[in-house]
Chain A
Amino acid sequence: MEMVKRPLPAGFQKVSGDDNTEEYFINMGPQHPATHGVLRLVLRLDGETVRECVPHLGYIHRGIEKQAESETYLQYVHLTDRMDYLTSHMNNHSVCMAIEKAVGIGVPDRAEYIRVMVLELNRISSHLMMFGCFGGDLGAQTALLYGFKEREVITDIFDELCGARLTMNYFRPGGVANDIPDTFIARVKKVIVDVERTLEEFDRLITGNVIIQERSRGIGILTREDAIAYGCTGCVLRASGVPYDLRKDDPYSIYDRLDFDVPTKQNGDSFDRYVIHIDEIRQSIRILQQCIEQIPEGPYRSKEKPSYRLPAGSYYAATETAKGIFGTYVVAEKGDKPWRIHSRSPNFANLSPIGKMVKGHMIADVVTVITTLDILIPDIDR
């Protein structure tokens, strides 16, 4: 029978392969549970070995950036909740910082401490989610449940703090929406004790587990040069040996007053990317402990009335979210609406080297790489 020559799918390169093996294409996603959302990976396979991998995006594109042009600046803040919904406070912070920079309003000290505490709680909850998904994707359903169980306590704190569990909309230009409730500090203290105790357990259960180690060590290696070239940030970059953290290198808010380390690893494989997350939770706990001691009394929102009409010009503010650097670039013109808002999403840059990382590995390792990259598709498509 004569072979039918089909054209290659979009994005693939022609290779002069050997005729004895049959290469075939497979769509991983968009409805694959291990792709963390509607991500479609087109894989060129040789048996079970991945020869090439091309991610296709756009399945959850909602036009948030376009919609922002018809909304006022204050209304835009809540839209960023819908981008990376695991780090919604951090996205809000980035937008608020850009507006504060443009209008020139200050943030009271107490508001800064509240912000940092909320941000670090959010970071812990996002990393716990990553921990759970990492275990779940590799077949350890126990980890999935334990991660979510710890995360639930933090979500309950947010619930009481800002009246929502996922789409927080808590930060405002010049402070936060409302003061912390009386129970907040006590509950954070309890979370610190809980998480410190359970992290040891997680380490015993997952990090030390030999099956997990053998499935993740040496899988999906991202070299230092590649990580920088692709613009990776956050845990992915730090796992490849670059100690770059915006909280240290370009301190915003009150991070320069706080004492914490930037955990860095050298190998850049999946195991390192996972362990970085666990180390970062420990650092976040250190930050939380310092904030609890130092938090001052005072107003939670700036008394200056923000006009929310930005002077014409362009403004950029970036924050280190749990995934990487989230930047907001605002081009303002006369009026209360932006001319254009662009978001620099960390997940897009972190996903881009996936073709290079999974080449030559088994198809099951693609799942390991995706889950340790800790990507979230709504942030990529926006």
Chain B
Amino acid sequence: MAKVIQRRSLTLLERSYLWEIIKGMGTTFKHLFRNFKNPEKMQLMSYPEVEVQTPQNYRGSHRLMKRPDGEPRCVACYMCSTACPARCITIEAEPSSDPRIEKKPRKFEIDWLVCVFCGLCEEACPVDAIRMDTRKVAISHYTRKEFIADMPRLLNWDPKDFPANDAQSQKAPGGKQNQQAKQIWGLEVKHS
């Protein structure tokens, strides 16, 4: 169980320092030549020029999903703002014009300076209206006011940036409304 390892004393060769320095430099130079041989394996990135490729589920800045008619999918249920530990989501509701849906948001604001990007809002949403998969992680503005994202900004995303095989990421629930969605987006939407 307990593993006791005995300590050995330094040998004469080790005491001489010189042999150890040669050994250490050998390792360092091995790495150097390995990197020369295939530089693409080096974990280096010229950051501002080359953008970091984060995976699709990376928790970045938010977006609001849309229905086929272009309206936000959000039903203003306040689940996300309740789940938010930083309390950065502000929602104001108003009656929806669609008779099947009770409410829709009049105001939906996320303060990205307050947000801690924990992903709980995404998890709490019952209609999959809020997502954090824009992969935009470097959010920079000049004033604090610009960091508060309002509804038009959250709805302003290009479907071409998201995987086409995920029908959910393109439009609202499937069925015959797919045709509508195709016309609105101007692209083929696959659904299973």
Which A residues lie at the B interface, using CB under 8 A? Answer: 71, 74-76, 78-79, 142, 146, 149, 152, 159-160, 163-164, 167, 169, 177-178, 201, 204-205, 208-211, 213, 243, 248, 261-267, 272, 275, 279
Tell me the complex Cα distance, A71–B119, Å.
Answer: 16
Interface presence of B166 (CB below 8 A): no
Interface presence of B156 (CB below 8 A): no
- Report which of B43, B55, B120 forms a contact with A75, defined as CB distance below 8 A: B120
A169-B118, A262-B3, A267-B7 given; 17 more Cβ-contact pairs under 8 Å: A75-B85, A78-B118, A159-B55, A163-B55, A163-B58, A163-B119, A169-B119, A201-B27, A205-B23, A208-B20, A210-B10, A210-B15, A213-B10, A261-B3, A262-B1, A265-B4, A275-B5
Interface presence of B123 (CB below 8 A): yes
Tell me the complex Cα distance, A210–B8, Å.
Answer: 12
Tell me the complex Cα distance, A167–B85, Å.
Answer: 14
- Nearest CB in chain A to that of B54: its residue: A159
The answer to whether A164 and B4 touch (CB under 8 A), given A78-B118, A209-B24, is no
- Nearest CB in chain B to that of A264: its residue: B2
**Does A210 contact B17, Cβ atoms closer than 8 Å?**
yes
Which B residues lie at the A interface, using CB under 8 A? Answer: 1-5, 7, 10, 14-15, 17, 20, 23-24, 27-28, 31, 43, 54-55, 57-59, 83, 85, 116-120, 123, 132
Tell me the complex Cα distance, A275–B5, Å.
Answer: 10
- Nearest CB in chain B to that of A248: its residue: B1
**Does A160 contact B57, Cβ atoms closer than 8 Å?**
yes
Tell me the complex Cα distance, A326–B58, Å.
Answer: 28
**Does A208 contact B14, Cβ atoms closer than 8 Å?**
yes
**Does B2 contact A262, Cβ atoms closer than 8 Å?**
yes
Tell me the complex Cα distance, A263–B2, Å.
Answer: 6
**Does A163 contact B83, Cβ atoms closer than 8 Å?**
no
**Does B117 contact A164, Cβ atoms closer than 8 Å?**
yes
- The interface residues of chain A lying within 8 Å CB-to-CB of B14 are 208, 210
Least Cβ–Cβ distance between A305 and chain B, in angstroms: 14
**Does B120 contact A74, Cβ atoms closer than 8 Å?**
yes
- The interface residues of chain B lying within 8 Å CB-to-CB of A142 are 24, 27-28
- The interface residues of chain B lying within 8 Å CB-to-CB of A177 are 119, 123
Tell me the complex Cα distance, A160–B119, Å.
Answer: 14
**Does B117 contact A243, Cβ atoms closer than 8 Å?**
no
- The interface residues of chain B lying within 8 Å CB-to-CB of A78 are 85, 116, 118, 120
**Does B28 contact A211, Cβ atoms closer than 8 Å?**
no
Q: 30 A-B contacts, Cβ less than 8 Å apart?
A: A78-B85, A78-B116, A78-B120, A142-B24, A142-B28, A152-B43, A163-B55, A163-B59, A163-B119, A164-B117, A167-B116, A167-B117, A169-B119, A178-B57, A204-B27, A205-B23, A205-B28, A208-B14, A208-B20, A243-B1, A243-B2, A248-B1, A261-B2, A261-B3, A262-B2, A264-B3, A265-B4, A267-B7, A272-B7, A279-B3
- Nearest CB in chain B to that of A142: its residue: B28
- The interface residues of chain B lying within 8 Å CB-to-CB of A74 are 83, 120
Tell me the complex Cα distance, A210–B55, Å.
Answer: 43
**Does A211 contact B20, Cβ atoms closer than 8 Å?**
yes
**Does B59 contact A265, Cβ atoms closer than 8 Å?**
no
Least Cβ–Cβ distance between A301 and chain B, in angstroms: 11
Tell me the complex Cα distance, A105–B2, Å.
Answer: 33
- Report which of B7, B20, B58, B116 forms a contact with A209, defined as CB distance below 8 A: B20
**Does A264 contact B4, Cβ atoms closer than 8 Å?**
yes
Least Cβ–Cβ distance between B80 and chain A, in angstroms: 12
- Nearest CB in chain A to that of B31: its residue: A146
- Nearest CB in chain A to that of B15: its residue: A210
Tell me the complex Cα distance, A211–B83, Å.
Answer: 53
Tell me the complex Cα distance, A71–B84, Å.
Answer: 10
- Report which of A159, A167, A243, A263 forms a contact with B58, defined as CB distance below 8 A: A159
- Report which of B2, B31, B85 forms a contact with A79, defined as CB distance below 8 A: B85
- The interface residues of chain A lying within 8 Å CB-to-CB of B83 are 74-75
**Does A163 contact B57, Cβ atoms closer than 8 Å?**
yes
- The interface residues of chain B lying within 8 Å CB-to-CB of A279 are 3, 5
Tell me the complex Cα distance, A209–B14, Å.
Answer: 8
**Does B17 contact A211, Cβ atoms closer than 8 Å?**
yes
Tell me the complex Cα distance, A201–B2, Å.
Answer: 25
Least Cβ–Cβ distance between B63 and chain A, in angstroms: 15
Tell me the complex Cα distance, A266–B3, Å.
Answer: 10
**Does A205 contact B1, Cβ atoms closer than 8 Å?**
no
- The interface residues of chain A lying within 8 Å CB-to-CB of B118 are 78, 167, 169
- The interface residues of chain A lying within 8 Å CB-to-CB of B54 are 159
